[in-house]
Amino acid sequence: AQTVTQSQPEMSVQEAETVTLSCTYDTSESDYYLFWYKQPPSRQMILVIRQEAYKQQNATENRFSVNFQKAAKSFSLKISDSQLGDAAMYFCASMNRDDKIIFGKGTRLHILP
């Protein structure tokens, strides 16, 4: 079974600063994907970044990057130069070969102007 744990229900960061959202996961499979999704007030799920487990290099997408620690089963998201539009709910998620995406409980990110 897969589990995803996000231990930070809420976080705040000053605009233009950097923030890191934490996530740990557990899976018995060796082949899996990890994701960070953003859910703004519209509730549309937006893929922020994805990481294939077999890749050692951390994924990056512009201001978003991850720290993937496979042995520790840790997958944190770093947002650099935070912007007001980054305010949203962020979900960490994992997907095994069965394509089922399992989500963590989420972290609500507030951006302080």
Partner 1 sequence: GAVVSQHPSRVICKSGTSVKIECRSLDFQATTMFWYRQFPKQSLMLMATSNEGSKATYEQGVEKDKFLINHASLTLSTLTVTSAHPEDSSFYICSARYFGTGRDNEQFFGPGTRLTVL
User: By the criterion CB under 8 A, which residues form the site for partner 1?
Assistant: 33, 42-45, 47, 50, 91, 95, 99-106
Least Cβ distance, residue 7 to partner 1 (angstroms): 14
CA distance 92 to 111: 19
For partner 1, the closer CB: 11 or 45: 45
Least Cβ distance, residue 81 to partner 1 (angstroms): 26
For partner 1, the closer CB: 11 or 101: 101
CA distance 100 to 62: 27
Least Cβ distance, residue 18 to partner 1 (angstroms): 25
Distances (CA, A) of 15 to 25, 75, 77: 29, 23, 17
Least Cβ distance, residue 97 to partner 1 (angstroms): 9
For partner 1, the closer CB: 2 or 80: 2
DSSP secondary structure of 13-47: EETTS-EEE--EEE-S-SS-EEEEEEE-TT---EE
